[in-house]
Structure 1
Amino acid sequence: MDEKRFLAEKFEANRAHLRAVAYRMLGSTSEVDDAVQETWLRLSRSDTSAVENLGGWLTTVVARVCLDMLRSRKSRREEPMGPHVPEPVADDTHGRDAEMADSVGAALLVVLETLAPAERLAFVLHDMFAVPFEEIAPIVGRTPAAARQLASRARRRVQGTPPPDTDFGRQKNIVDAFLKASREGDFDGLLALLDPDVVFRADSAAQRLGSLAEIRGAAAVAETFKGRAQSAKPALVDGALAIAVILGGEPRIVVWLTMKADRIAGIEAMADAERLSGFDLELLDK
């Protein structure tokens, strides 16, 4: 059996699963077809000889495709028209689309449409298809801990129990205090906000701007941020509280903070322009 035929048979064996993932991500049968077709094209152009779990590889690819489509869909909406309404499904040549839609439920799809793209992906892959956060993280360009937070936030909204305003307000106060201490060069103020075992990590683009790849410990991290953050502002990035540096109207650096109790336990800096352009970013202090 030649390789192309072998891949085609494996793809067909996974087609129903890929359609299920795409439908929960997109809520549109026409876009599902496009996403699954794009997944096949990427498979046919890829060297999968070293792939041990082809089903998992295909799930990752279709998720990436759907995430790009969700972000593109969002960027095309220049006027507020409310959430995208999931398409009703009738039986088609695949014969199982109506059954697939029934298994999801129109009400759930409507709620999923209110989520930020990365939140939706994390929730769908983890809660509906048991994909580990270690595999979700690189798809959304975040750490496993941050991917877990995305899914948790989405889960609360799906269950109708959004995080209390006091929770968000408390975390926003910590971010504001961190930025204030950083700008003023207040080492002790920074130290008080940081968990003793805090870890700072930076992507390769941030490293090219002068950052170290990793810094561990409250004292070292406080020293790093002392006197900085002059152009940084609190922001919502894909629905998550973060810090953004905007220059020339474009995001240059995004920093995510992982909270532990009332202290900052993790800091993740990203400056990769291509990845930043795909995020949904809203400044909180303009």
Structure 2
Amino acid sequence: MPGRTDALAESFERDRPRLRAVAYRILGSLGEADDALQDAWLRADRADTSEVENLSGWLTTVVARVCLNMLRARDTRREEPLEEGPRTGTTGTDPAEEAQLADEVGIALLIVLDTLGPAERLAFVLHDMFDVPFDDIAAMLGKAPAATRQLASRARRRVRGVPVPDADPPRRRRAVDAYLAATRGGDFDALVSLLHPEVVLRADAAVVPTPEPFAVSGVEPVARGAMASMARARFTGVVLVDGRVGLAMAEHGRLRVVLRFTFADDAHDDRITGIDVIAEPNQLNKLLISGIG
């Protein structure tokens, strides 16, 4: 049926930007999103669409189902070594395009989405970001619409987060923002100005492969260590880590590193006294990552 195939192909190409946007937000990885679109097209091309009235909606469902299967297959989630990317979906992906897209979507959003379960993530992305009805999402998940609404609601609370707690006044949020900006911009002097003279940075074995946790002290050594993470800072955002303001990095849609900060005891001194760099998968899994309301 050439006419059917032509209509399907035309609809797919017309909707490709939206379908790619759906896949990227569900998966958090541009390479994997492109893989999902390719798989979705192969599935769609083999299907009988003679009775499909809304090809755009049907294609969104196909892409979403493929993405859901990919999420569920992440049984080794967060277990790849820090220096390596995900096993699939990175070939031919432009790092600059990925970084730009992450900024457009919101790095903190992508980080929090990666901490959600597949069903919660799908329900939130499809409904809250693309206005897909809960009845349609429920059919994809094999759940009742009411249960699907609850999934989206739980995800929404995590994504939107809560106000910064009293223990982290706004000026300390600004200090974390400034730390990220200085790291991204390679501004050594700005980093130095944010650090207490007795600052200590500690990193686990997933960051620095040593038998014991690695530690370095002093303003300049810690600032130099931060400068070494400039490339990763492009995929880093400000989030709440166990209820306190911190940083998290999610390159290619996977949570990789979390930074927890401590500050001087003096309520008027907002210089950073400690930085804990966490990348060990078991420890990352224990952290509660949420957005900042």
Larger relative contact order (Cα-Cα within 8 Å, sequence gap ≥ 6): 2
